[in-house]
Amino acid sequence: MVAMMLVLSACGSQAEPAGTDPVDGGTVTVAIESDPAGQFNPHESGTDIAAETLRAVFDSLVYLTPEGELKPWLATSWEVSEDQLSYTFTLREDVTFHDGEPFDAAAVKANFDHVRDPGTASKLASNLLGGTAYDSTEVIDPQTVRINLNQPYAPLLTNLSSTYLGFISPKVLAGSADQLVAGGPEVTVGTGPYVLEQIVAGQEVSFTKNAAYAWGPEGESQGPSHPDRLVLRVLPEASVRAGALASGDVDIAGHLSPEDALSFAEDDQINLTRSESPGLPWTLFLNNRSGIFTDLQVRQAFQKGINISAAIEAVYAGTYHRAWSFLGANTPEYSDTFQDSWPYDPEAANQLLDDAGWTKRDAEGYRVKDGQRLSASWSLTQDRDRRGNLAEAFQADLREIGFELKLVPTDTGVFLQQLQSGEGYDIAAWSYVRTDGDVLRLHFHSELAPIQNAGWVNDPQLDEWVTAATRTTDRAERTELYRQVQERALEQAYSIPILPSHNIIGSRVSVGGVETDIAGWPQLRTVWTTAVQ
């Protein structure tokens, strides 16, 4: 699997960094789109920005290359039992946490026990560790640790490469675990190439070089990072990130808009890289638990009543393409069988609504039944990459079939409360970067509502298929199971995939080593700057 990392064809020739050899010293400043405040416990948080930010601090047992190959990292080797119920890891002997604590088998056990502790309230890491398939972590000797399962869980090795299963100092876990979410130099303590320096909520997070670092992933640089400092500056607006990059206020900016990327086409001071991430595309989750979308015909009418292709063409002018399924094309278990399988069909949408009894119209042209208007509310938390424009296009499409769509700007805290209760929203939307088809289990298994299963889907057939896919390592078998999952989810219109997850990264020519990981995020471990004073 290749993560489709390519220079934007529309960007013209790009200048090379000043110099070809890495330079030590200086500060690299990166513009990020979301504020990671309150998300500094990798075992608790489930957000992309947490993983992207905390990778600087927390290392993993294994490393997943951009090509999808697993390499040793904090573990030098591993063995999987024939029955796939135990994974035994041999650990490096030279690794220490930022506070001087040794990284050993006891530290691995302490971390995985913390992930599984109900008090951690893990939103993702516990499921990445196997969910109900996980049994225990066992210390064999100081440099050997074994993970025991009660049933096979095929994605485990891949999942162990994630930041969410990175390692926190056992000293912190024992004495300050309740402070991990807020974070801080005394508690955000890992083994990584950077040491947390300061958190300024809503503004920036800064790190300093871990000069003792000597344990990078196999095949990568083993030594310390090159910059003395790394600063992540919170700039939510894409245009502001682009402006900061153009002016030199930041060295690297991610999630640039297509328009901003094109504006840099002839700029000899900026390099651009575009990636399309594996996992779940930007998807609309229809609330199957309460409200209008408990009716299958209404869900299907909504699905057929929005012109996804036209909206994406209008908003992105051919830069992006639409999604047809719930797995991105870079996901190993991707299937192209859904291409063009459910096009825009307003005539069918109208018929479905008629059949569902929504035959009358009010004075504004919206359908009504039993005194109730056909209406759905969409909780919008962030207008990233002009997705708000897509929402407005869908709103106009639905009006044509008498379906009211309310776009409701919603605070993140309120949104999380809505997801937890399953009430107060009809539509939620997000993308989810994952390198394995198991992302479908996270979003469709009934036991994973609330939060991940935002549509509150409760379908025994889907539960059976996504569980079966975790118990086999046969790629063809897993791909077929996930194909069946997607086919049924589309037929039932549980959710609607809209747009693959993209990332356009801009960097100034004074910065080198700008590489992306398999998720399409910049690997800040490798960057350097010639702007050293």
* Same domain flag for 231 and 341: no
* Same domain flag for 491 and 514: no
Task: Look at residue 329 and tell me if it is in a domain.
Answer: yes
Do 472 and 152 touch, CB atoms closer than 8 A?
yes
* Same domain flag for 219 and 307: no
* Same domain flag for 524 and 475: no
- Write down the pLDDT at residue 30: 98
Q: How many domains does the chain have?
A: 2
Residues of the chain with pLDDT under 70: 1-19, 383, 533
- Write down the pLDDT at residue 8: 39
The whole domain housing 390 covers: 279-500
* Same domain flag for 220 and 304: no
Task: Look at residue 20 and tell me if it is in a domain.
Answer: no
Do 198 and 222 touch, CB atoms closer than 8 A?
no
Give the pLDDT confidence of 313-366 residue by residue, as tens digits.
999 888 889 999 999 998 989 999 999 999 999 999 999 999 999 999 999 999
Task: Look at residue 7 and tell me if it is in a domain.
Answer: no
According to DSSP, residue 177 is labeled: G
- Write down the pLDDT at residue 397: 98
Task: Look at residue 11 and tell me if it is in a domain.
Answer: no
For the whole model, what pTM was predicted?
A: 0.83
- How far apart CA 238 and CA 473 sit, in angstroms, is 40
- How far apart CA 102 and CA 83 sit, in angstroms, is 32
Do 500 and 4 touch, CB atoms closer than 8 A?
no
Task: Look at residue 5 and tell me if it is in a domain.
Answer: no
* Same domain flag for 233 and 381: no
- How far apart CA 303 and CA 497 sit, in angstroms, is 10
* Same domain flag for 295 and 195: no
Task: Look at residue 363 and tell me if it is in a domain.
Answer: yes
* Same domain flag for 128 and 190: yes
- Write down the pLDDT at residue 176: 96
- Write down the pLDDT at residue 5: 33
* Same domain flag for 234 and 210: yes
* Same domain flag for 237 and 363: no
- Write down the pLDDT at residue 383: 67
- Give phi and psi for 416, each to the nearest 5: -65, -35
- Write down the pLDDT at residue 67: 83
Identify the CATH number of the domain in which residue 466 sits.
3.10.105.10
Which parts of 155-264 fold into alpha helices (H)?
156-159, 170-175, 238-247, 258-263
Do 26 and 13 touch, CB atoms closer than 8 A?
no
